[in-house]
Amino acid sequence: MTPFAEAVRLLRERKGVTQKQMAYAIGVSPAYLSALEHGKRGKPSFDFLQRVAGYFNIIWDEAEELFSLAGVSDPRVVIDTAGMPPEYTAFANALAKDIRHLPSSVLNELSDVLQRSRTTG
């Protein structure tokens, strides 16, 4: 499941609607919505995001957060290391191979490292 899918599922549960009800209301197939919620579809379109926000009648701050989650919810990520030193490519490949087996504590540590590197530039 992606961060966006988790957010949509929570919104659906809060409103008390099924995937099928929501899908028909926003004009997509139940199969598409199911695939999106199970992380089998890529990043949703801006039009789709607007329909979701309208359907749940969410305020701007919540909509902005939902749009942000959609931006980090592509389940098939490509890391382009062309032109980088070899250790970057080796690391990207090792991460791709082993990410399914990493405990959440390691993911949290890596996330912290990435966050710190963004703020220290």
Full residue range of the structural domain in which residue 26 is found: 3-71
One domain, residues 9 and 62? yes
CATH number at residue 41: 1.10.260.40
pTM, two decimal places: 0.72
Residues of the chain with pLDDT > 70, as a percent, come to: 99
Number of domains, the chain: 2
Model pLDDT for residues 90-118, shown as the tens digit of each residue: 999 999 999 999 999 999 999 999 999 98
Which tokens sit at 74?
A: 């592509």
One domain, residues 16 and 54? yes
The mean pLDDT of the chain is 91
Which tokens sit at 101?
A: 């087996």
In a domain, 79, yes or no: no
One domain, residues 67 and 91? no
The whole-angstrom separation of Cα 45 and Cα 92 is 27
In a domain, 78, yes or no: no
Burial 7-21 (b: 16+ CB within 10 A, else e): bbeebbeeeebebee
Q: How confident is the model at residue 121 (pLDDT cuts 50, 70, 90)?
A: low
One domain, residues 50 and 104? no
